[in-house]
Amino acid sequence: MHGYCIAVRLEQMSQGVFRLNAGSLFVAVQRLQRDGLIRGEWKATENSRRAKYYALTEKGQKRLNSETREWGRQVAAIARILEA
Amino acid sequence: MSLLRSISDGLRSLFRKEQVNEELDEELNGFLEMAAEEKMKQGMSRKDALRAVRLERGTLEITKEVVRSAGWESSLETLWQDLRFATRMLGKNPGFTAAAVLAIALGVGINVGIFSVLNGAALRLLPIPRAEEVVSIDQIFHGRVTRNAHNGPSMFSYSEYLDYRDHNHVFSGLLAYEPFVEATLGGGTMRGLSGALATCNYFDVLGEHPVQGRGFLESDCATPGGNAVVVISDDLWRGTFASDPSLVGKRIILNRTAYIVVGIAPPGFKGTEPIPSSFWAPITMQKALDPWSDRIADDNLSWLALLGRVQRGTTMEQVRGDLAVIAGRIDQLHPGRTTSLAVRTATFFNRQMEREILTPVVSVILAAFGLVLLVACANVANLLLARASVRQKEIALRLSIGASRWRLVRQLLTESLLLSLTGGALGSLLAFWSFTSITRLIISHLPHEAATLIVNVAPDFRVLAYALGLTVFTGIAFGLIPALQSSRQDLNTALKEDGIQRSGGREGGRFLRSALVGTQVAVCTILLLATGLLLRGLYYAQTLDPGFEMKGVATMFLNLGQQGYTEKRGTAFMASLQQRISGLPGVVEVAHAECAPLSHDFSADAFTVSGRVEKIGIEYNHVSPEYFSVVGIPIVRGRGFRPGETHDSPGVVVTESTARRLWPDEDPLAKTLRESSGREYSVIGVARDAQVAHLGDAHTTYLYFPAGTPDNLRAYVLVRYAGDFPATAKAIRDVVQSLDAETPADVIKLEDYLEVWRMPSRIVAALSGALGALALLLASIGVYGVVSYSVSRRVHEIGVRMALGADGSEIMNLVLRQAMRPVLVGGLVGVAGCAAVSQVLSGMLFCLSAHDPVAFISVPLFLLAVALLASYVPARGALRVDPMVALRYE
């Protein structure tokens, strides 16, 4: 998925809550790339434009899983606290 | 892994900047284009779409900047930019740069130089293989202590050494030695040598194996007095024995005993003390070298220094713990006493006492040199401040187009660090290059005894670290204040050309500059005033009357006991010596004494006056009957000693001060005095006060006892002569030679002892004088710079004043008054500071009055005159201001 695609997908999925500007997005992408969690590759888009496509690496996938679990735990905990 | 990738990515963007930039460009452009296309699909025009995207997602350039500065490489890049810019800025002002670099080079240079000397003397490890493994051990006693000391109170007795050697579990070897053993080399070339008595593992533990012959074997130390073998130093072999290739195996004479030379120490090995050792003899030969004392048998005598080589893998804590167990066991034999051990990696100065003296002296020296660096820093800071106001516009511009204050400070600091690094490097290079030769020069001018101090001033990592630390500190010290000052400003006024000169905001800058000048003047005052006080002290010492007749007396120290004389032979020798010297032409009278006046030889005991309990420590001397007339001390009451009076006689002569102190308002004659052994003496005479023991101190208590047989074995012979000194000295030497060709006779003038007392003052005066002159030079440049700067900035104001009718002298007054205000304040602070310093100095150096009025008035006046001159010269520039030109200036 290339940069714009990521931004649009995040926006759609969050139903407009997360609207990323280019600065935040690409700083994050650069950091993830340097940490070896994603890798980028230049490819042609469907509109025959060149764009850099990013994909999770194996390490990134593992990290995503663990972070998701952790996030789930925290959100559940906070929810429980708020409900109580 | 990710760290590696981060580094490689960072490096890639540093070195393949173009490509990385292009990629980022393309990616971001693509992003924005795609966003715009989306909008255009919804029916916007391309222009509106792009605008909307910019608003929603940010513009291309700012995003690029944000992304780029997120990586670590960007701060490196900024640094590089700053450096390049700083280099350009400094290059543009070669005059300023040269002045600043020179000031820093001077300041850092002398500090690094003095540090490398101190490092060489006191911090550097011993020049032996794997020196970091070798530790020195000192013992410090607490509680009830009755202990005799031969060299230092923290040293060990032989039995203690054996205890530590045999029962420790941490050393691969532990050695002991007695330093500074004096011996006379006999056999044709008579020479006094300083050497050491060492245990037979000495060379093995130190890892210094003689190149010729061998070191000591265990068997050399097997029987006391049994093995007269010696290892001599390479210097002695090359010098006195002219590199005789067959010397090993031959005999040399030390204190009348023949020793076989078994080895010659490797070149460069001079022992482990600051004074080089010429020979090493087995410790078991102690009694042969000094027949009148048996140190090995004395379990309560401190005389041996201990060095141990720690086993590999053993920590310092383990060493301390292990040795403390042994110390605790020894303490059990001495109820009421506890011993703590000081274990440290061995250097040339190990002993507790030496370190206690060294530390304050070193701190004072470093502080004095540091003051000069402070003055240099203040100078550069002033230059920077002055320049910062010239760069006001540049800085204001940067601030107004969005540079953060931190970014500006960082850039200004880069500039000052670049300055200080250049100066520091230059100064350090100069120091490394010049201090080796300067040290050699100074050492060659010291009196003979100190002439052979081992000082290796070559730079090592410690010196380099000190130089670097000092340089960086300097850069920040002089750079930070101007940087903070100039980056804080009111943009509106600064951007208007006019604002620079009149804005009230610059008041802060002027105050800072004045404060810096004040500091410089204060430091200068302290250094120069100290010099002035010391010079006055020296002058006083030159003209001082010590209370006895110093001129026309020759003196000679004879240690017959060490030469193996018995009391009977010694007494006979002294009798015929005195008789024959008295018969020499030009000799008026001969005396001998246990201590010659001012010879740094002291004896003291605790005395009690009968009928009282308090004990008074009093110094004393044993003198022959002729002593008082030879050194010209009159007996003011009672009588002196008569021939035939000896140690057994009950009479004592006291000084006037002693009489006043012990028996105020009473007749001292026939009063009794008890020494610590319980023996009583009665006063037979009162001698006039004289500074015989401590120069500059006439009113101490002092006693004279009659000389007896023991004094014949160790005595100063004092000869009053009427002719010229060289002839008399030669005649005296000839008499000694004719009586015993093997006894060394060194005849000097009694006045020569005075020189030893004066030397510390002389050295400190020279040092603080040189530093003071340097500081004065820097400070006057500072004053000059500040005044000429302020004149140049106030051309407009002066022009207005002149146009309104002010005349030259009024303008001059105005400028000078302003220039001299910080000078006066600084001078006052300096005088107050020096009053405090001189209290300390007067305790350390003799004849120094802490409040000498001549010094305290003349030095500040001199400084004031210099400062006035330094401000007058640039102030004259103000008079040449043409009002028309000045008003048209803008």
pLDDT tens track for B678-715: 889 999 999 998 888 877 666 678 999 999 888 888 89
Q: Which residues of B touch A20 (CB under 8 A)?
A: 57
Q: Which of the two residues, B143 and B448, has the higher pLDDT score?
A: B143
Closest residue in A to B35 (Cα–Cα): A4
**Would the CB atoms of B6 and A47 count as touching at under 8 Å?**
no
Give the DSSP letter string of B533-565: HHHHHHHHHHH---SS--TTEEEEEE-TTTTT-
B2 Cα to chain A: minimum distance (Å): 5
Confidence band, pLDDT 50/70/90 cuts, at residue B652: very high
Contact at 8 Å (CB) between B878 and B572?
no
Pick from B20, B25, B31, B60 the residue to mutate for testing the A interface (most A CBs within 10 Å). B31
Give the DSSP letter string of A7-65: HHHHHHHTTTS----HHHHHHHHHHHHHTTSEEEEEEE-TTS-EEEEEEE-HHHHHHHH
Give the DSSP letter string of B599-657: SS--EEEEEEETT----EEEEEEEE-TTHHHHTT--EEEE----TT--TT--EEEEEHH
Percentage of the residues of chain B whose pLDDT score is greater than 70: 93
Could you say which of B1, B58, B70 has the minimum Cβ distance to residue A22? B58
Q: Which two tokens mark A24?
A: 């935040």
Return the minimum-mean-pLDDT range out of B92-101, B313-322, B529-538. B529-538
Could you say which of B2, B5, B34 has the minimum Cβ distance to residue A4? B34
Q: Residue A39: which CATH number?
A: 1.10.10.10
Around Cβ B630, how many Cβ atoms within 10 Å? Answer: 25
pLDDT the model gives residue B890: 52
pLDDT the model gives residue B325: 94
A to B CB pairs, distance under 8 Å:
69
pLDDT tens digits, one per residue of B653-668: 999 999 998 898 889 9
Angstrom distance (rounded) from CA B490 to CA B395: 11
The closest alpha carbon to B262, from B286, B280, B241, belongs to B280
Closest residue in B to A21 (Cα–Cα): B57
Residues B585-613 have a mean pLDDT of 86
Q: Which of the two residues, B49 and B169, has the higher pLDDT score?
A: B169
Whether pLDDT at B446 is above 70: no
Around Cβ B72, how many Cβ atoms within 10 Å? Answer: 14
**Would the CB atoms of A22 and B31 count as touching at under 8 Å?**
yes
Q: Is the dihedral of CA B628, B555, B736, B232 positive or negative?
A: positive
Q: Which residues of B touch A49 (CB under 8 A)?
A: 30, 33-34
Closest residue in A to B31 (Cα–Cα): A4
**Would the CB atoms of B67 and A26 count as touching at under 8 Å?**
yes
**Would the CB atoms of B66 and A47 count as touching at under 8 Å?**
no
Whether pLDDT at B504 is above 50: no
Express the helix, strand and coil content of chain B in percent, nearest 5 each: 55, 15, 30
Angstrom distance (rounded) from CA B6 to CA B72: 9
Q: What is the mean pLDDT of chain B?
A: 84
Q: What is the DSSP letter of B44?
A: -
Report the DSSP beta bridge partners of residue B194: B182
Q: Which of the two residues, B421 and A50, has the higher pLDDT score?
A: B421
pLDDT tens digits, one per residue of B722-763: 989 999 999 999 999 899 888 888 899 998 888 777 777 777
B296: Cβ contacts below 8 Å, ≥ 6 apart: B158, B224, B283, B284, B286, B287
Residues B610-639 have a mean pLDDT of 89
B89 Cα to chain A: minimum distance (Å): 34
Angstrom distance (rounded) from CA B331 to CA B338: 6
Q: Which of the two residues, B330 and B542, has the higher pLDDT score?
A: B330
pLDDT the model gives residue B445: 63
The closest alpha carbon to B833, from B518, B541, B538, belongs to B518
**Would the CB atoms of B70 and A31 count as touching at under 8 Å?**
yes
Q: Which residues of A touch B33 (CB under 8 A)?
A: 49
Pick from A12, A34, A48, A53 the residue to mutate for testing the B interface (most B CBs within 10 Å). A34
pLDDT the model gives residue B503: 40
Q: Which residues of A touch B1 (CB under 8 A)?
A: 36
Angstrom distance (rounded) from CA B539 to CA B168: 56
Q: Which of the two residues, B890 and B47, has the higher pLDDT score?
A: B47
pLDDT the model gives residue B231: 95
**Would the CB atoms of A22 and B5 count as touching at under 8 Å?**
no
Selection from B169-173, B244-248, B288-292, B360-364 with the highest mean pLDDT: B169-173
B22: contact with A, CB 8 A cutoff = no
- Say how many domains are in chain A: 1
Q: Which residues of B touch A31 (CB under 8 A)?
A: 70
B53: contact with A, CB 8 A cutoff = no
B519: Cβ contacts below 8 Å, ≥ 6 apart: B374, B375, B378, B826
Q: Which amino acid is at B380?
A: V
Residues B622-642 have a mean pLDDT of 93
Mark the ranges of chain A whose per-residue pLDDT is less than 50.
none
**Would the CB atoms of A35 and B6 count as touching at under 8 Å?**
yes
Around Cβ B312, how many Cβ atoms within 10 Å? Answer: 8
Q: Which amino acid is at B54?
A: R
Return the minimum-mean-pLDDT range out of A55-64, B153-162, B614-623, B679-688. B614-623
B35: contact with A, CB 8 A cutoff = yes
- Domain limits for position A32: 3-83
pLDDT the model gives residue B845: 60
The closest alpha carbon to B466, from B817, B114, B788, belongs to B114
Contact at 8 Å (CB) between B377 and B474?
yes
pLDDT the model gives residue B490: 64
Q: Where are the domains of chain B?
A: 2-71, 131-346, 357-542+756-888, 553-754
B12 Cα to chain A: minimum distance (Å): 12
pLDDT the model gives residue B767: 76
Q: Which of the two residues, A79 and B485, has the higher pLDDT score?
A: A79
Distances (CA, A) of B543 to B633, B696, B854: 18, 12, 16
Confidence band, pLDDT 50/70/90 cuts, at residue B889: low
Helix, strand or coil, per DSSP, at residue B178? strand
Whether pLDDT at B452 is above 60: no
A49: Cβ contacts below 8 Å, ≥ 6 apart: B30, B33, B34
Report the DSSP beta bridge partners of residue B705: B622
Angstrom distance (rounded) from CA B283 to CA B421: 53
pLDDT the model gives residue B502: 43
Rounded to two decimals, the ipTM of the complex is 0.84
Confidence band, pLDDT 50/70/90 cuts, at residue B448: low
Confidence band, pLDDT 50/70/90 cuts, at residue B505: very low
What is the separation of C-alpha B790 from the centre of its chain, rounded to a whole number of angstroms?
40
Let me know the angle formed at the C-alpha of A17 by A12 and A20, rounded to the nearest 5 degrees: 80
Q: Which of the two residues, A52 and B540, has the higher pLDDT score?
A: A52
Return the minimum-mean-pLDDT range out of B82-86, B488-492, B622-626, B806-810. B488-492
**Would the CB atoms of A4 and B30 count as touching at under 8 Å?**
yes
**Would the CB atoms of B66 and A27 count as touching at under 8 Å?**
yes
pLDDT tens digits, one per residue of B286-341: 988 888 888 999 888 899 999 999 999 999 999 999 999 999 999 998 888 899 99
Q: Which residues of A touch B (CB under 8 A)?
A: 2-4, 7-8, 19-23, 25-27, 30-31, 33-36, 45, 47, 49-52
B56: contact with A, CB 8 A cutoff = yes
pLDDT the model gives residue B493: 62
B62: contact with A, CB 8 A cutoff = yes
**Would the CB atoms of A26 and B5 count as touching at under 8 Å?**
no
Confidence band, pLDDT 50/70/90 cuts, at residue B844: low
pLDDT the model gives residue A20: 80
**Would the CB atoms of B27 and A34 count as touching at under 8 Å?**
no
Percentage of the residues of chain B whose pLDDT score is greater than 90: 27
Q: Which of the two residues, B42 and B629, has the higher pLDDT score?
A: B629
Could you say which of B27, B63, B67 has the minimum Cβ distance to residue A52? B27
Angstrom distance (rounded) from CA B190 to CA B742: 8
Contact at 8 Å (CB) between B117 and B439?
yes
pLDDT the model gives residue B451: 45
Give the CB-side neighbour count of residue B113, counting CA atoms within 13 A: 21
**Would the CB atoms of A23 and B56 count as touching at under 8 Å?**
no
Whether pLDDT at B101 is above 80: yes
pLDDT the model gives residue B372: 85
Whether pLDDT at B862 is above 80: yes
